[in-house]
Structure 1
Amino acid sequence: MSQQNLIKLAQQGDANAIATLINHALHSKGVIAQATRRDRHLYILLESEQLPNQSSCIRVIQNGILRLGTTAITLITIRGQKTHHQSSGWTHTIALQTSVASAKTCVPTMEDESAFTPAKSIPAPSHFIPTSANPPTKIKKTASRKVKQQGSRRQIQPPPVKFPKVLLPQPVKQLLMAGSIGLMMAPLSGWFFTVQQDRISEFSRTVSQTLASVPTLLTSGLQNIQAPSLPELPEFSFSSAGSTANSEPVSEEETLKNLNKFSELTLTSLQNPISPDLRIKIKAVGDIIPGTNYPSNKLPASKEALFQDVKPALQGADIVFGNFESTLTNYPSSAKNVGRGLVFAFRTPPEYTSILKDAGFDILSVANNHSFDFFEAGFDDTIENINKLGMKAVGRKDEIVYHEVKGVKFAFIGFSYFSVHNNMLDLEASQAIVKKAEAEGADVIVISVHAGAEGTAALNIYNKTEYFYGENRGNKVLFARTLIDAGADLVLGHGPHVPRALELYKGKLIAYSLGNFMGYRTLSTKAQLGYSLVLEADLDPVGNFKGGKIIPIHLDSKGIPYRDNNFRSVGLIRSLTQSNFPETPLEIDSQGQILLKSD
């Protein structure tokens, strides 16, 4: 079956297709997945020689199903166990979506009490285990990742009684959400709905007995209890144990008490939810050189004044990102012969790290053509000085830097056209590190790439390899698109020292160059070399671009940034985007707002 047909079937809710995709994703962990469906409830059994890792398996499945965008499934129950050992393991239930239905009382029926064991329902065909070294593109990249909230969010008051339509014959770590909530998720880095294990262990022993008394309560005048309906799901277990037929009956008072506890526990699981409507705001800027003291002193009289005018433009973001194109070291000698033509080495005193922190930066890329100006010692010093003030430096070869915001796990990866960093010229290796970030649970993957020709002659971007003074500076269009195909969500380009066009590729934003942001007495600011910006990008929890803004900045003759009331960079980027990518579904208005074109 072709990859396209496989994904199409999975989007339609086909259990076998979903199991095949899960097997591809979990094959490296030695996990075999089997699946079956009952109406809108998907059951997944995971088996391996060792107990499948709960955290990583749940993350792969929940992110994959969410990004697959299927509307055919509203509940997923996952069972992890050792191969052929049903007696021990873990179970999780993920509620993908519910609707605000008319209030009703849920009473278990004989039909609901049928048990389901996936291992007996579906054999494990050989094609569940990938034999190719190149598995199909991950679920995440399908065009139908959009998820819509199906009901207004409102404050929920705990009802006096709830009757969940499910029996729990054994402790289950994760329970269902209340039906009055629309499509909601807990942090993507953890679970959709997390409930304390010890409380569930206590209550799950009494729930079955409680529900067994419901029919009696209904005949005692409780038929009209109004409570938000829970998602409907048949009772199931992965073992034959758990019958409540001979359970000792509980009193009406105890029944109400237990149901109230169960209701509170269900509501507790909704604390700090993340809706698909959540937005994470990233602000990103280009090249930063706050002065150098090598080979001569070109430092400002007051370092605190460098970011003074643009600091407000960097505020109000969840993540602030920049490309630091100098070093933060006192290492005495340079790796470059700066007396030879257009050869420069930049060394900024380590104490200047404080002004970067004070300006609001969270992540700084050091993967560029100046990071090794003072050998590996200077590179290490730069990273150490950035990290010790609470910021994070990205740019070491084979390194992924993780940063969590609002429960969403971001991965940052720095690239250049040099082998000392992740090399953008090596597409295979570049794809591999992106896939590694996904495998390690990244929800949103951000790429910083320093490449491309330089100067005002390099304003336009084409799908071809760029050269500068005979040096291969890579094909940034091919690189960016290839990495998005591999799993990346946002690409931030640097290197040309001028702003370039924006592109929206498969719902992901590519900024091909953010230009210079600060170059105190080091970078030319003539013509478009002085055009700068703060790029503001709003992303959803799975990395789709939802809108943004170009905040125009201009550099003065000394390379100090100021807000630009003439909006020069807005007009430039809008023009370049229209000419370089006329089909891209982006609109940039005169005030710098970046909008998605309506279909």
Structure 2
Amino acid sequence: MEIAFVGDVMLGRLVADELRRHPPEHPWGDALRLLRRADVLVGNLEFVLSSDGRPWPGKTFHFRADPAAVASLEAAGFDLVSVANNHVLDFGWDAAAESLATLASHGIRFAGAGEDLEAAQRPAVLERAGLRVGMLAFTDNEPGWAAGPGAPGVHHVPPDPRDPRAAALFESVARARDHADLLVVSAHWGGNWGVDVPPTHRAFARALVDAGADVVFGHSPHIPRGVEVIRGRPVLYSAGDFVDDYAVDPVERNDRSFVFVLRADGGVPVELRLHPTEIGDCRVRLAGASAERIASEMSRRCAVLGTRATWDGARRCLVVGLEPGTH
């Protein structure tokens, strides 16, 4: 079983313009073959699929695409997406509800937002090759969007183990173990910039693994942060930006990221491969001449977290071994 993870996916604005002129496969460039090769593809959806709604007041950026853009997600092969983030309500709840309904009608499972707190907390589960893969999703962004017992919104959880919302999340993780052979917890957390992992995130990731998470899939920062391995379970503190139309910071290079491919054996993570990618002209592509440079920087970020990531020239990717003695 191979599960591919990619960071923030934004198909609105200029990317949406490109989609009107090109086929649905266009945003994925030559990374498409890598995405389609995975048994399960997971990402964070940073826009809504809707033609309705008004921009949320007070926000600077609002991202959406026509519901027909779901064909692009299908073309890539997305199976599970997180919608617990700071853009799912960019055009209000009705637009978000339309987006979630569109995903559901096309067989793309989602987690992290819903018509009430119970729905937002609900794990998404799918079965592939006899293995049940589940995902819970939360965010610490936009506290005003938090779902409640009778109110729609996102699964909002501050990354503080002492917070009662965190305690409820840990209980949800433990319960989800009964329904999944491999459990992912998606975390849209922290600010947009900086390669250093906050100590609070490291402590919270450890608590999630203690509760039963097999993978912690982090995003929100526009750049990838290092990977930590906790008792054989990979923690992706930030997967970065995968495809968008954003301006590029010349230092932090938010146009560079990875396809993170996890190999699991019977639900147990065995190996993580990081395939370097770059964004150009609203389209992602596998990194060419810059691949080793991107990988080298990521290797240093992993080393700070005690993780050994080695370059595999034949497969053109970084490799993190997850079995005992490999990191």
Is the TM value for this pair above 0.5? Answer: yes
Change in CA separation of 1:410 and 1:437 when aligned onto 2, cut-off 3 Å:
same
Residue identity in the other structure for 1:332: G
**CA-CA distance at 1:523 after TM superposition:** 5.3
Q: What does residue 594 of structure 1 align with?
A: 320
Q: Which letter does structure 2 place at the counterpart of 1:432?
A: E
Aligned residues: 293
* 1:595 Cα offset (Å): 2.5
CA deviation string 1:193-232 (max 9, x = no partner): xxxxxxxxxxxxxxxxxxxxxxxxxxxxxxxxxxxxxxxx
Tell which has more relative contact order, 1 or 2 (C-alpha 8 A, sep 6+): 2
Q: Secondary structure of 2:17's match?
A: coil
Amino acid across the alignment from 1:444: L
Relative to structure 2, which stretch is displaced further, 321-330 or 533-542? 533-542
Q: Which residue of 1 aligns with 2:22?
A: 302
Q: Aligned-pair distance for 1:446?
A: 0.5
Q: Percentage identity across aligned positions?
A: 25
Partner of 1:518: 243
Once the two structures are superposed, what CA deviation does each residue of 1:411-464 show, in whole Å capped at 9, x if it has no partner?
Answer: 1111101423223313201101112212x4322211111011212xx111131x
Contact 1:329 1:350 in 2 (8 A): yes
Q: Choose which of 44, 48, 72 in structure 2 pairs with 1:323.
A: 44
For residues 264-311 of structure 1, what are the alpha-carbon distances to aligned partners after superposition, in whole Å with 9 as ceiling and x for unaligned?
Answer: xxxxxxxxxxxxxxxx21101000111228xxx962132532223221
Q: Please, which of 507, 530, 550 is the counterpart of residue 274 of structure 2?
A: 550
The answer to whether the Cα contact below 8 Å between 2:16 and 2:65 also exists between their aligned partners in 1 is no
Give 2:167's aligned amino acid.
E
CA contact (8 A) 1:292 1:349 kept: no
CA distance in 2, matches of 1:487, 1:535: 21
In structure 1, what residue type is equivalent to 2:184? Answer: V
Residues of 2 paired with 1:587 and 1:308: CA distance? 26
Separation in 2 of the partners of 1:289 and 1:333?
Answer: 18
1:85-119 Cα offsets, whole Å, 9 max, x none, are xxxxxxxxxxxxxxxxxxxxxxxxxxxxxxxxxxx
Separation in 2, partners of 1:569, 1:422: 33
- 1:459/1:332 CA distance change after superposition, 3 Å: same
Provide the residue aligned with 2:13 in structure 1: 292
Q: Does 1:379 align with 2:96?
A: yes
d(CA) in 2 for partners of 1:336, 1:309 = 38
Instruction: Tell me what 2:264 maps to.
Output: 539
> What pairs up with 1:262-281 in 2 under 5 angstroms?
280-281=1-2
In structure 1, the residue matched to 2:187 is 449
Closer, same or farther in 2 for the Cα pair 1:331/1:598, shift >3 Å?
A: closer
| Matches of 1:303 and 1:347, distance apart in 2 | 18
Match of 1:561 in 2: 284
> Is the Cα contact below 8 Å between 2:80 and 2:124 reproduced in 1?
no
- Structure 1 residues 315 and 516, CA, compared in 2 at 3 Å: closer, same or farther? same
State yes or no: 1:479 paired with 2:204.
Answer: yes
Give the counterpart letter for 1:588 in structure 2: T
Counterpart of 2:197 in structure 1 is 461
Q: 2:179 & 2:97 partners in 1: Cα distance?
A: 27
CA-atom RMSD, angstroms? 2.0
Name the CA distance, whole Å, in 1 between partners of 2:231 and 2:225.
19
Distance 2:216 2:41 in 1: 14
Q: Tell me if structure 2 keeps the 8 A contact 1:462–1:477.
A: yes
AA of the residue aligned to 1:318: D
Matched, 1:423 2:156: yes
AA in 2 matched with 1:589: W
What is the distance in 1 between the residues matched to 2:65 and 2:326? 46
State the one-letter code of the partner of 1:595.
G
Q: Secondary structure of 2:64's match?
A: coil
Q: Secondary structure at the match of 2:173?
A: helix
Counterpart in 2 of 1:313?
34
Q: How does 1:41-120 map to 2 (within 5 A)?
A: none
Residues 502 and 386 from structure 1, CA distance in 2 versus in 1: closer, same or farther, beyond 3 angstroms? same
Question: Is the contact between residue 282 and residue 319 of structure 1 (CA under 8 Å) also seen in structure 2?
Answer: yes
| 2:191 matches 1:494 | no
Q: Name the counterpart of 2:124.
A: 401
- Post-superposition shift, 1:525? 5.7
Instruction: Tell me: CA distance 1:373–1:523, structure 2 relative to 1, closer, same or farther (3 Å).
Output: farther
CA contact (8 A) 1:424 1:449 kept: no
1:344 correspondence with 2:61 = yes
SS at match of 1:574: helix
Q: 2:74 aligns with which of 354, 357, 360?
A: 357
Inter-CA distance 522–331: structure 2 relative to 1 (3 Å threshold): farther
Calculate the TM-score normalised by the size of structure 2. 0.84
Larger Rg belongs to: 1
Amino acid at match of 2:208: L
Residue aligned with 1:491, SS: strand
Does the 8 Å contact 1:523/1:559 carry over to 2?
Answer: no
**Is the counterpart of residue 509 in structure 1 residue 234 in structure 2?**
yes
The one of 437, 441, 462 equivalent to 2:176 is: 437
Deviations 1:125-159, CA, capped at 9 Å, x for gaps: xxxxxxxxxxxxxxxxxxxxxxxxxxxxxxxxxxx
**Counterpart check, 1:578 vs 2:299:** no
Shift of 1:376: 1.1
Q: What is the letter of the counterpart of residue 357 of structure 1?
A: E
Displacement of 1:346: 0.7
Structure 1 residues 531, 377: closer, same or farther in 2, change over 3 A? same
Q: Which amino acid aligns with 2:69?
A: Y
Residues 111 and 121 of structure 2 are in contact (CA less than 8 Å); yes or no, is this contact kept in structure 1?
A: no
**Unpaired segments of 5 or more residues in structure 2?**
114-119, 148-153, 159-164
Aligned counterparts of 1:382 and 1:476: Cα–Cα separation in 2: 29
Amino acid aligned to 1:347: R
TM-score (norm 1): 0.47
Residue identity opposite 2:284 in structure 1: P
| Unpaired segments ≥5 residues, structure 1 | 1-279, 464-474
